[in-house]
Amino acid sequence: MARRPLPRILSSGSAHITRSREMARSAADSATDVLHPLITITRGLRLLAGAGRRKWAATPKDRRGPALFLVAALVLVVALVPYGPLLALISVMAVAGWQGRDRTPSRTGPDEAELQRLRSLYEALVPYFSLPEDPNPLFAHGGEWEKAFDEYEFDADGRLTRLRVSYPPYFMDGEHSSRVRIEHLMYAKSGRGREYLFDWDEEGNELVMSVLPPLPTGIAAQRFVTAPGETVLGFTDAGAVRRTVPVREGDETRDAPPVLWRTGARSTEPHLLAVGRPGSGTTSLLRSIALQALPHGDVVIVEGGGTGEYASLDGRTGVLAVERGLSGALAGLEWAANETERRLIAANRARQSGHAVPEDTKRPLWLLLDRPSAFAHVAAADGRPDPQELLHVPLRHGRAANVTVVVAEQFETLDALSETVRTHTRARVVLGAATREELESVLGAPPHTIPTPDIPTGRGYARLGTGPVLRLQVPATPDPYDDATSDAHRRAVLELLPDRHTPLHGSTAATTRAPEPGPEPAASAPPAPDPEPGPPAQPRSRHQRQSPAPVPAAVPAEG
Give the Cα separation of 369 and 390 in Å (integer): 12
CB 277, CB 459: distance < 8 Å: no
- Looking at this protein, which amino acid is placed at residue 219? I
Could you give the residue ranges of the DSSP H alpha helices within 100-175?
112-125, 145-148
* Virtual torsion, Cα 45, 49, 50, 56, nearest 10 deg: 160
Q: What is the radius of gyration, based on Cα positions, of the chain? A: 34
In sequence order, the 6+-apart residues with CB closer than 8 A to the CB of 83 are none
- Residue 158 per-residue DSSP state: S
Is 281 known to sit in a ligand binding site?
A: yes
Determine if residue 283 is labeled as part of a ligand binding site: yes
Sheet with strand 196-201: strands edge to edge: 149-154, 160-166, 206-211, 196-201, 449-450
Q: Is 280 annotated as a binding residue?
A: yes
Q: Which of 472, 470, 3 is nearest to 243 (CA)?
A: 3
Contacts of 186 (CB under 8 A, 6+ apart): 121, 125, 163, 196, 198, 209
Distance (Å, rounded) from C-alpha 232 to C-alpha 285?
Answer: 10
Question: Regarding beta strands 459-464 and 470-473, do their DSSP bridges make them parallel or antiparallel, or are they unpaired?
Answer: antiparallel
Residue 277, Cβ neighbours under 10 Å: how many?
16
Q: What is d(CA 408, CA 273) in angstroms, rounded to the nearest whole number?
A: 6
Q: Is 40 annotated as a binding residue?
A: no
Minimal CA–CA distance to 149: which of 178, 172, 115, 175?
Answer: 115
How far, in Å, CA of 351 to CA of 377, rounded?
Answer: 43
Query: Three-state secondary structure along 431-459?
Result: ECCCCHHHHHHHHCCCCCEECCCCCCCCE
How far lies 106's CA from each of 36, 40, 109, 155, in Å? 19, 18, 9, 15
The Cα 550–Cα 513 span in angstroms is: 10
User: Which strands, in side-by-side order, build the sheet including 243-249?
Assistant: 4-5, 243-249, 252-256
E-strand ranges in 136-271 read: 149-154, 160-166, 196-201, 206-211, 230-235, 243-249, 252-256, 258-262
Asked whether residue 279 is marked as a ligand-binding residue, the answer is yes
d(CA 434, CA 480): 28
| Binding site members for ATP | 276-283
Residue positions forming the annotated binding site = 276-283
